[in-house]
Amino acid sequence: MLISPPHNGIARAPDQLTWRGRLSAVSGRMRNDLQLAIITLYSLCVLVFIGPFAVYRLVNGDIVIGIADSLILICFLALAALAWNPRWTRLIANVLAAVAALGVVLVIMVLDLSPMWVLSTLVGNFLMAERRVALAVNSSMVIIIALQPDLFQNTAEHATFVSVVGMTSLFSLIFASRVRTQRAKLHELAARDGLTGAFNRRSLDNDLTQLLETGSRQTHSLAMIDLDDFKKLNDELGHERGDHMLKLLCKVAMDGTRGADRFYRYGGEEFVLLLPETPLAGAKVALKNLSRQFKQDQPADAHAVTFSTGLAEYTPGESQDAWLSRADTALRQAKRDGKDCYRQSISSRTIE
């Protein structure tokens, strides 16, 4: 009996891996970008709760309202799709908040629905949009509804609406502000080295990727920095002294560089100084100033600690790994040439 080769698993593995990769990427974006997650959730809720109403009204001949519901649904889904482009997420969040508020106002006034429909939009807008935009949009929505006494059965219901909406807005604003503050702190912790406070290697990868993706024609430089004889320093004076010198170098670097410059701990006693829109001539000046200040800030009665540096100017078209590699090669040359100096690399040629 001939047994046909199995078709389960092996043949479909590439597709499965592709879909798993895509789902993983989508999940990662949603976890890391709260704004995008809320936009997506907002749009899915609109699809689930407004979509059936649109279909029902169109089927039952209520064409005008059915078309209105459909347009709202299409608008939300289209904006949510645009929001997946990182360049558009922030703008789309603000636009979507305005669209949601306008849609709620129209639905309440045209369909004579309960004014309490504004509550879900209030909370969603504070979480999704920028605070100033959410305040403006939500305030406008509430004021428009509150100025329509015919929407309420009596004065008590009108007053109840104003009170409930006011409290919901206040608590939503506080909650949304707290969430943003906590996420900013977590992002800062994830982006920095725990010992020195310098940005970490993950931040370096992200910043280099973003810098090179902009396609800027400006000249960029980076410096690979390594403390000289650091192992000897730890062995003779202890790790506490070594940690102190690492922290001191980072403090001097972060205090003495421009706002656009960034200082990263690359690993151990090795660091990277990124100098956007700076040619090698400017990078040399920055490194000389850093070296001088680092020596001055060390205790006068202690053995002076120095560092060696490899400089590299970005060559258009090269990868960030190649750029870092050239700086690392120049750094090794500086170590061989006696330390406490810098060497530079230009288009893969290392010179003094």
Domain boundaries, the chain: 19-191, 201-351
In this prediction, residue 294 carries a pLDDT of 93
Please say whether the beta carbons of 311 and 327 come within 8 A: yes
Q: What is the CA radius of gyration of the chain?
A: 29
pLDDT classification of 18: cutoffs 50, 70, 90: low
Indicate whether this model's pTM tops 0.85.
no
Task: Over range 320-346, report the average pLDDT.
Answer: 92
- Beta strands 262-267 and 342-346 are unpaired
In this prediction, residue 67 carries a pLDDT of 86
Q: How much is the mean pLDDT over the chain?
A: 85
Q: Is the pLDDT of residue 348 over 60?
A: no
Q: E-strand spans in the chain?
A: 221-227, 262-267, 270-275, 307-313, 342-346, 349-351
In this prediction, residue 116 carries a pLDDT of 86
Q: Is the pLDDT of residue 186 over 90?
A: no
In this prediction, residue 2 carries a pLDDT of 36
Q: Which residues of 200-230 are buried (b: 16+ CB within 10 A; e: fewer)?
A: beebbeebbeebbeeeeeebbbbbbbbbbeb
* 172 Cβ contact list (under 8 Å, min separation 6): 122, 123, 126, 127
Cα distance between residue 264 and residue 274, in whole Å: 8
Active site residues: 269
Cα distance between residue 50 and residue 37, in whole Å: 19
Among 213, 181, 220, 178, smallest CA distance to 324 is for: 220
CATH number of 201-351: 3.30.70.270
Cα distance between residue 45 and residue 78, in whole Å: 14
- Dump pLDDT digits (tens) for 64-82: 878 878 888 898 889 889 9
* 242 Cβ contact list (under 8 Å, min separation 6): 230, 233, 234, 269
Among 38, 110, 123, smallest CA distance to 71 is for: 110
* 118 Cβ contact list (under 8 Å, min separation 6): 104, 108, 141, 142, 145, 165
pLDDT classification of 215: cutoffs 50, 70, 90: low
- Dump pLDDT digits (tens) for 291-321: 999 999 998 767 789 999 999 999 888 899 9
- Dump pLDDT digits (tens) for 220-278: 999 999 999 999 888 888 889 899 999 999 999 999 888 889 999 999 999 999 999 99
**Six-digit token string for 83:** 């929001």
